[in-house]
Amino acid sequence: MKLRLCLSVVSLVFLAGCATVRNPVTGQYERTVMDERSELAAGQKAHQDVLKEYRPLDTPALQAYVNSVGQKLAKASHRAHLDWHFTVVDSPEINAFALPGGYVYVTRGILAYLNDEAELAGVLGHEIGHVTARHASQRATRQQAAGVGVLLANVLGSVLESKGYGGAGDFTSQISQVTAAGYIASYSRDQELQADQLGAEYLAGNQYDSARMIDVIRMLKNQEQFGQDIARQEGRALAPRVDWLASHPSGDKRLEDIRQTALLHHNPQAASGRERYLKAIDGITFGESREEGVTRGQQFFHEPMGFALTAPQGWRIQNTSNELTLLNSTGEAALTMRIVPTSAGATHADIVRTVFNPVSGSTTQATINGFSATHFVGVARVQSGTQTVDATLITGPKQQNYLFLHIAKNAAILQREREALLGVEKTFRAMSEKDRILARPWRIKQGAFPAGGFAQLAKRAPAALANAEAQLRLLNGAYPDGMVKPGSLVKMVE
């Protein structure tokens, strides 16, 4: 949850007309709605939107390092003349994406799982490939030909497909995921394969072993495997993913495809840059960040805002950019919490009027752990007519107002779960000193692999890290059962 509005798809560059351009990769002429100039303009504009949604990670040395690897690859690409930008964004999602014109992004989430510079180069090379082969422009042109219209929604589609999954095994909002998945406008299978091939080519052109592309795909495949294993253990359905895994099939077919290409330029002597890479990412945040709030077991802490909440046993806490959701054990009812902007009004009564525009309803006042609260039950005017609403406003620390909305599958369940939802609201409190210790963000640290293996490494991990042994295996490319030599340098969580 952050104090920012979600990515606006409205502020898109308007494009019209058709041109013919020569594809820098294939040399073929193609009909397009985006020539290089409009590609650059679109990229520049969308880059600003991306920065509104994703904060660049505040680690200049790491940014410079990723940029240097990216620039090297871009210089050996089919569009070396573009003004390339490489940005590490502060997100736990496992993701990488690119915008037309030469803007490439990797999340700190994916960096945690990569094992060396060659794998990083593999990810960057793949994204550079999407740019050099003009994939977004091709997609936009196809869609316009098909009468779909909004062109750059596609460009931002490649950003939106990244919403949702937290790398540290935390849960994310199924509701938000499904919504975001609706926007996914992924590249075609052929485009993905071409990006893999180009990535492998750019690796080879920079003294990396192109076969390392295979390890990147394998890392994604292991993430997918882990997700399935955990879902099975917990006896729940696998939530749809909307990150790099969703848009980049990591199945055996892709592995097979890339194996053939990557081995063409295979260079087993090439340096992996492992030590340099591990040093560069040493100390980066793993999982949720202080700024967005952290989930620790059944507790949620938002240090900058100074509040804490506790979910009952069996409930799930889902922390996404726009809201915090506490989902009950059956998944049929939830409490969502949002930050109320000051523009919505100064008093609870004002806010109820602005947010719900009620037809009818009543409010009751209460105090929750010293904070003033107003509960509203009534009928609100919504776009499609009217809707029954059950909601609570709380003025928390720093005079910030929060809106808690009760949601359920149907009215009967809403009624049945009412007391439980109100009970969760009552756990809203100012953070204590003890909470502040629990809310400390986790970090990736390098260290020597112990003789006791991953089980021993897991003992050094924070107690609240779920499935610690499996997570550490994933982080070190050893999931589900890989071996690591004692004494060798590995990543740990602390």
Q: Is 159 in the site for Zn ion (CB under 5 A)?
A: no
Contact 108, 180 (CB under 8 A): no
Segment interacting with Zn ion, rule: CB under 5 A, options 184-192, 203-211, 218-226, 330-338: 184-192
Tokens of 258: 């890339």
Our finding on whether 326 is near Zn ion (CB under 5 A) is no
Which among 64-72, 177-185, 192-200, 274-282 is the span making contact with Zn ion, rule CB under 5 A?
192-200
Question: Could you tell me the smallest distance in angstroms from the CB atom of residue 265 to Zn ion?
Answer: 19
Nearer to Zn ion, 200 or 439 (CB): 200
128 binds Zn ion (CB under 5 A): no
Residues 6+ apart with CB under 8 A from 317: 170, 171, 295, 298, 300, 309, 311, 324, 325, 326, 327
Residue with CB nearest Zn ion?
195
Q: How far is the CB of 186 from Zn ion (least distance, A)?
A: 8
- Give residues 240-269 in contact with Zn ion (rule: CB under 5 A): none
- Tell me how far apart the alpha carbons of residues 465 and 461 are, in angstroms, rounded to a whole number: 7
Residue 308 in contact with Zn ion, rule: CB under 5 A? no
- 151 neighbors 211 (Cβ within 8 angstroms): no
Buried b (16+ CB within 10 A) or exposed e, 89-124: bbbbbbbbbbbbbbbbbbbbbbbbbbbbbbbbbbbb
Q: Is residue 204 close enough to count as binding Zn ion by CB under 5 A? A: no
Interaction of residue 403 with Zn ion, rule CB under 5 A: no
Which ranges of 100-238 does DSSP label H, i.e. alpha helix? 108-113, 117-132, 135-145, 153-160, 174-183, 189-204, 212-233
- DSSP output for 246-309: HHS--SHHHHHHHHHHHGGG--TTS---HHHHHHHHTT-EESS-TTT-EEETTEEEETTTTEEE
Residue span binding Zn ion (CB under 5 A) among the ranges 6-14, 70-78, 185-193, 416-424: 185-193
C-alpha 9/C-alpha 49 separation (Å) is 9
* 46 makes contact with Zn ion (CB under 5 A): no
Give the type of residue at 201. E
Q: How far is the CB of 101 from Zn ion (least distance, A)?
A: 17
Does position 155 interact with Zn ion (CB under 5 A)? The reply is no
Q: Quick one: which segment of 49-57, 177-185, 195-203, 467-475 binds Zn ion (CB under 5 A)?
A: 195-203
Among 12-20, 107-115, 191-199, 471-479, the segment contacting Zn ion (CB under 5 A): 191-199
Structure token digits, residue 252: 């055996």
Between 247 and 471, name the residue whose CB sits nearer to Zn ion: 247
Instruction: Answer yes or no: are the C-beta atoms of 125 and 69 closer than 8 Å.
Output: no
Residue placing its CB nearer to Zn ion in the complex, 187 or 442: 187
Three-class SS state of 398: helix
Tally of residues, the chain? 494
Q: How many whole angstroms separate alpha carbon 487 and alpha carbon 103?
A: 39
Shortest Å distance, C-beta 63 to Zn ion: 22
In the bound complex, what is the minimum distance in angstroms from residue 361's beta carbon to Zn ion?
48
Q: Is 216 in the site for Zn ion (CB under 5 A)?
A: no
Q: Tell the smallest beta-carbon distance from residue 125 to Zn ion (Å).
A: 11
Which one of 178-186, 193-201, 301-309, 418-426 is the stretch in contact with Zn ion (CB under 5 A)? 193-201
Residue of 73, 66, 15 whose CA lies nearest to 213: 73
Judged by CB under 5 A, the residue of 99, 180, 195, 305 near Zn ion is 195
Nearest to 102 by CA among 25, 41, 183: 41
Task: Tell me the closest approach of the beta carbon of residue 6 to Zn ion, in angstroms.
Answer: 23
Cα–Cα nearest to 55, from 108, 111, 131, 124: 108
* Cβ nearer to Zn ion, comparing 97 with 442: 97
Q: Does residue number 106 form part of the binding site for Zn ion (CB under 5 A)?
A: no
User: Which among 194-202, 287-295, 356-364, 396-404 is the span making contact with Zn ion, rule CB under 5 A?
Assistant: 194-202
Smallest distance from Zn ion to CB 195, Å:
5
Task: List contacts with Zn ion (CB under 5 A).
Answer: 192, 195
